[in-house]
Amino acid sequence: MENFYMINDRTIQVRTGVFGSVESYRCYSTGELEGIQLSDKNMVVTHIGELVPFYTETTRRKNKYSIEFYKDGMIKSVALEKQQEIYTPIGDFPAECVTFYSTGELNRFFPLDGKISSFWTEEDEKALQIPLIFDLGFTRFKALMSCVSLWKDGSIRSITLFPGEVINIKTSVGDIAVRNGFSLYQSGELESLEPAGPVLIDTPIGRLTVFDPDALGITADRNSLIFDKKGRVIKLVTSENRIAVQTESGHLKMIEPKLVVNQLDGETMIRQGLTIRFDYSRDQVVINDGDEDCSFSLSNAGFTIERVENPYWTCSSSQCAGCSMASYCFKN
């Protein structure tokens, strides 16, 4: 069902307003307007400010529509003509792209939104960045951001750091250097973070070295080290430890990170991390080696933690360019 009206071949009316100089548009398969691309200045009046969707093309412009809509005609996202100040529930910030919930609340804002390519590098984008300051109690930092995500009530859901940025966060298991970013529960407690390097922490089965070398960092909504609202670790990834489990029946089971081919070069071998989840209500730990879940009782099974050699740390300097640890590695 259509959610728009064509006033003429260059002007579209939707429930949120009238847009002129429409260069092109796209519809959902069911007929509703999905996005429009503009060729001249328009204004979108919102609760975060008067937004000017982009209408000029540049080498760093992403291939996207100026404005995208939900099927009911509500605005889903606005890619801005240039970085401008927006007014959010957590303060005023610069933004180059914003997204909204289907009910109208601000969902995410991106201080910059350039397309990384051979014509526009990550370093070029970084040169335009403005460091932002946050004080959240468990951490206070000044860093470059890729994205800030909000819950519907306006509280922070997650902060995604610009590639290469590292901050320190105080957690229930100690201070941890963090890359990629972190997320919060809607009530404000720390939910998850991405360790910047291997870090030794206490867990219900012993001291484990946690780190996920394969963390992508596209969004910090969900990260490899996860806590419950009480600050207890409920999920982690380790590629550094072998776990010997003496089961309730007396059997011994060895679980360790598997050696897999490094996708960066197709030749070297790296360890694929074990994913470990703790369910305190069931007195249970679940360990996944990439093939299957293995469940054990926290109270009635015995656990011995050993270190395994990880060829990830025996890489050559020629591999640094494509490595997720390049900005933090102890070799640099």
For the chain, the domains span 4-113, 131-322
Q: How many CB atoms lie within 10 A of CB 315?
A: 18
Q: Residue 216: its pLDDT value, please?
A: 83
Q: Residue 36: its pLDDT value, please?
A: 97
Q: Which residue(s) pair with 98 in the sheet?
A: 78, 109
Backbone phi and psi for residue 128, each to the nearest 5 degrees, phi listed first: -90, -10
CB 277 within 8 A of CB 235: yes
- Residue ranges in the chain modelled with pLDDT below 50: 330-332
How far are the Cα atoms of 131, 138, 140 from residue 134, in angstroms, in the given order? 10, 11, 6
Q: How many CB atoms lie within 10 A of CB 5?
A: 11
Distance in angstroms (rounded) separating the CA atoms of residues 72 and 252: 57
How far are the Cα atoms of 171, 286, 307, 328 from residue 253, in angstroms, in the given order? 31, 13, 16, 34
Q: Residue 332: its pLDDT value, please?
A: 47
Q: Which residue(s) pair with 88 in the sheet?
A: 91
User: pTM of this prediction?
Assistant: 0.90
pLDDT tens for each residue of 270-321: 888 999 999 999 999 999 998 999 999 999 999 999 999 876 555 555 555 5
Q: How many CB atoms lie within 10 A of CB 168?
A: 12
Q: Residue 330: its pLDDT value, please?
A: 45
Q: Residue 196: its pLDDT value, please?
A: 95
Q: DSSP letter for 133, please.
A: E
